[in-house]
Structure 1
Amino acid sequence: MTHPHLEERHETSPDPRRWSALVLLCVAQFMLILDVTVINVALPSIGSALHLDRAWLTWAVTSYTLCFGGLMLLGGRLGDAYGSRRMLLTGLSMFVVASLITGLATSGPVLIGGRLAQGIGAALLSPSALATITRLFRGAERNKALGTWAALGGAGFAAGALLGGVLTAGPGWRWIFFINVPVGLAVLALLPRLVAAAPPAHGRRVDLPGAIVVTASTGALIYGLVNAGDVGWGSAVTMLSLGGALAGYAVFGLIERRAVAPLMDVRILARRPVAAGAFLMLIGTALLLAMVFLGSLFLQRVQGLSALVTGVLFVPVALVTGVAGHLAGHLIGRHGARAAACTGLLLAAVGAALPALLDGTAWIITGLAIGSGGVVLAFVSATTTALGFISHREAGIASGIVNTFHEVGGSIGVAVVSTIASAGIETGSPAGFGPAFVTAAAGAIVAALLCLVLVPAGKAHLPAGVHVH
């Protein structure tokens, strides 16, 4: 995650504890990323144990990313206002307690409440952790530290699917949340000894109304998308939810234009590179989590595979994403972000279409591997586009916006395909899964065409010290 306001801090000498602090901060961030994907393999077990239907299972995934993304900019502002170490420890404490509550859940409301609280804790923790890293390191060391941080995204995806399968098949699904407790407590005990408090960087003005409105609007959007699977797209509840979301976003824009310390400078979204980068990150995450969600449920509920086998099958998918991440920089450097983005989205379309057109576990995994690799190209293109065609002065807020779209996109993607595949998810039949995969493929193709217009031509240069996962 990238904090929207990264400032240079000049210490007389480097902190000798900085590398130990980096390890702990990366462990904390790894937990946050892990919880985006670790739950997918466990969904059938959670549904059976708590008697949850499709809508509840969808919210179990989306509620976390909703708060994580929707409140991330607020978390960064709070770190500015009250000190990054204070927000870091507050967010980590909240995440640990919320993980315990989620693991102990005996009903859908408690599970979703715990996931929402996990997301709030993550939104407080992540930007302050990154701000702490930028304060502790300088020069070449900072780039190395931030490179390690950025690499956590792919590692978290790889570990999430496998760990979810291992824990669900072993001690049980509750341990995908319980495992955060001892790890989080250890980090919480050690971190204050390694990270000194820093004075707040700005005044204590925080745009709380803006954060509440934009998060509530996204929640209404997701509720409308999920609800449509049960009552139809034309129902009053669905239409009111979707209409309320659009009205909420309009209100958010007005709040930001008038706020003394706005959460987001909405005018920067009018900048073509930032808008293109945000769009790529939104559609990329939507496609990735949609495919993982559908693939996990299909392999277990329709094909009858165990959670452990499903987790192991996702390992090749994660390996492909790692290779794609390595190759993306070379492709963009040679051909530019536009070509890489279009190529990546077309690969994502192929990957999403394969499970819809061809039967068999091998085709599902092959499709997920191709699609995930393509999405990684889109991710790197998004970062390069949003940050490589604007001034260094604007890079911090632009990266914060792109990261917000990264998390929120996952919530929207899962909500859409869950609604389309609702019949199959409820009954454990193939019904609906094919159309859901086709919808993802069609969305990727449309996005690839839009990239020809949105993404600037030419080669961009990513500002030093700015990373987006």
Structure 2
Amino acid sequence: MTSSASPTTVAPGHGRWAPLLAVCLGTFMLLLDVSIVNVALPDMATALDASFTGLQWVVDAYALALAALLLLVGSIADAVGRRRTYLVGLAVFVAASLVCGIAPSVGLLVAARFVQGAGAAAMLATTIALLNTAYHGRDLGTAFGIWGATSGAAVAAGPIMGGLLTQGLPWRWIFFVNIPIGLATIVMARRTLSESRLPQRPRIDWAGGGAFTLAAAALTFALVRVAEEGWGSGQTLGALAVCVAALGAFVAVERRVAEPMLDLAMLRRRSFVLVLIAAALLSISAFAGLIYVSIWLQTVLDLGAISAGLVTLPLSGIAFFVAGGLGRMLHGASPRWTVGGGLAIIGVGDLLMLGLDGSSGWAAVLPGLAVIGVGAGIAIPTVVAAAMAAVPRERGGMAAGAVNTGRQLGFAAGIGMLGSIFSARVDALLPGGAEIAHAVTSGGSAAVLAAAPAGSRATLDAAIHSAVGGALGTTFLVAGVLGVIGGAVVALLLREPAAERAAEPVGEGVGARA
């Protein structure tokens, strides 16, 4: 039976939960691909002769496309239809997964990952609206609960599924597995999802979307390249200049366009800006360093892919259970303490890994990862609600899209920023020159040891353990400081929703990112 409040809208001839399954399958795939590649990075480095920067881009290209295109694709979906956009996103995601799986070079793999991220953005931007169309009343609450659990399960399952696939099959299967699931989801979505769009077709903010995408890409490029080029290089400074110019163009466009992708008046609200910053810092502090942990576990400590996935499982697993177990208890709690407190706890978890050194084994990171999981489980479910509470109700959908963009962009930028710190510390701590340090950070420790004279291998192996362990400690120091300071600032300065709503009204325009 459907809820008495309002009937559930389902395509004729299908069960009432079939639309939910079609949405959850797509959500599971797109979120799984954020983290599933981490444990496969060493194998990719060997097979494709990828550099440290190349490995960063394999992860970052997907996150960047997802972040930079989310608001623009949301605008497109409002105009052309959410179901149509979701189906196109699924098709793009499946096709790009095939190209990722057969890519003969790291350059093509990175390009395909960007296209895959674009498909994921189209899927993620439409899921909430599709559920709002398909369900009402109690059914809608149930659907959102299952969708949220699916999102958490995807994050938790990423390292384990990646380990299982790469331990028994070539790394390319982490992408091939998307193809049958994606095709089945396309068939199910075509049959069960109903179309929805805004009553009056809005104008798509192409200029604003293009400027924001260019700014995000230029910033991420600068942060990734700085590990090899340095802050004073022409590439880094040029990319930063492009970022600043593109941001200026974005602001100019959004001020003048009739239906902006992002209403800049929302940025006059202190609470909204603080939540956006907190969302970015959350991703940096909690997740951006995990790819370097994976490299350390597999190429320095010689753990298998499944074992490496199990080591990082406490973070995502505990976050999943904390979010589910404390969700009702934290409902209605001040975002000052849920968002700010959760971010500070994440920072404390990072700081617990300060003591990593040459003698550290895999168990040394477990306490820190567990504490990070607790903080993430508290903050992640409440950060979107905090953003929506900080703006007028008609801007709630836009605020949700903006904070999700902030989270993904923080992840993309954090990989570059923390990667430059990790790489620089390995170079500083490891004797033998930059070439050896670069090979080690790229997952080539085994090759470095094999090429060394037999009599010096034990000494070199100890040096690699010490350098990479110390570099990880420094990396998590920076992440921890960002988390603790960010959490404290949010707890001190974030206004209560009621007080924020009493502030100056947000400007006119269409509200819209559901």
Structure with greater Cα Rg: 2
Offset from partner CA, 1:297-353 (integer Å, 9 cap, x none): 211122111111111223333221123213543564585221233332232122212
**1:13 shift after superposition:** 6.5
Determine the structure 2 residue equivalent to 1:140.
138
Question: Does 1:380 find its partner at 2:378?
Answer: no
Q: Tell me the secondary structure at the aligned position of residue 95 of structure 2.
A: helix
Determine the structure 2 residue equivalent to 1:252.
250
Q: What are the equivalent positions in structure 2 for 1:241-320 lying under 5 Å apart?
A: 241-320=239-318
Provide the rounded CA distance (Å) in 2 between the counterparts of 1:390 and 1:261. 17
Q: What are the equivalent positions in structure 2 for 1:10-409 lying under 5 Å apart?
A: 14-15=9-10, 17=14, 18-198=16-196, 201-203=199-201, 205-329=203-327, 332-333=330-331, 336-358=334-356, 359-409=360-410
Q: Is the 8 A contact 2:422 2:475 kept in 1?
A: yes
Q: Which letter does structure 1 place at the counterpart of 2:372?
A: G
Determine the structure 2 residue equivalent to 1:448.
487
Identity over aligned residues, as a percent? 31
Provide the rounded CA distance (Å) in 1 between the counterparts of 2:415 and 2:210. 22
Equivalences, count: 454
Q: Which letter does structure 1 place at the counterpart of 2:441?
A: I
Determine the structure 1 residue equivalent to 2:507.
none
Provide the rounded CA distance (Å) in 2 between the counterparts of 1:459 and 1:378. 20
Tell which deviates more after alignment, 437-446 or 237-246: 237-246
Provide the rounded CA distance (Å) in 1 between the counterparts of 2:203 and 2:93. 25
Provide closer, same or farther for how the CA distance between residues 196 and 153 of structure 1 changes in structure 2, counting only shifts above 3 A.
closer
Superposition TM-score, scaled by structure 1 size:
0.91
Provide the rounded CA distance (Å) in 1 between the counterparts of 2:342 and 2:201. 42
* Structure 1 runs not aligned, ≥5 long: 1-9, 462-467
**1:164 shift after superposition:** 0.6
**Two-structure CA RMSD over aligned residues (Å):** 2.4
Q: Tell me the secondary structure at the aligned position of residue 259 of structure 2.
A: coil
Q: Tell me the secondary structure at the aligned position of residue 353 of structure 2.
A: helix
Q: Is the 8 A contact 1:47 1:57 kept in 2?
A: yes
Provide the rounded CA distance (Å) in 2 between the counterparts of 1:254 and 1:233. 28
Provide the rounded CA distance (Å) in 2 between the counterparts of 1:33 and 1:276. 25
Superposition TM-score, scaled by structure 2 size:
0.83
Q: Is the 8 A contact 2:56 2:416 kept in 1?
A: yes
Provide the rounded CA distance (Å) in 1 between the counterparts of 2:326 and 2:281. 17
Provide the rounded CA distance (Å) in 1 between the counterparts of 2:199 and 2:127. 15
* Structure 2 runs not aligned, ≥5 long: 427-439, 446-463, 501-512
Which runs of at least 4 in structure 1 moved beyond 6 Å after TM superposition? 10-13, 458-461
Q: Which letter does structure 1 place at the counterpart of 2:369?
A: L
Provide the rounded CA distance (Å) in 1 between the counterparts of 2:393 and 2:197. 24
Tell which deviates more after alignment, 104-113 or 280-289: 280-289
Tell which deviates more after alignment, 242-251 or 157-166: 242-251
Provide closer, same or farther for how the CA distance between residues 78 and 310 of structure 1 changes in structure 2, counting only shifts above 3 A.
same
Provide the rounded CA distance (Å) in 2 between the counterparts of 1:82 and 1:270. 31
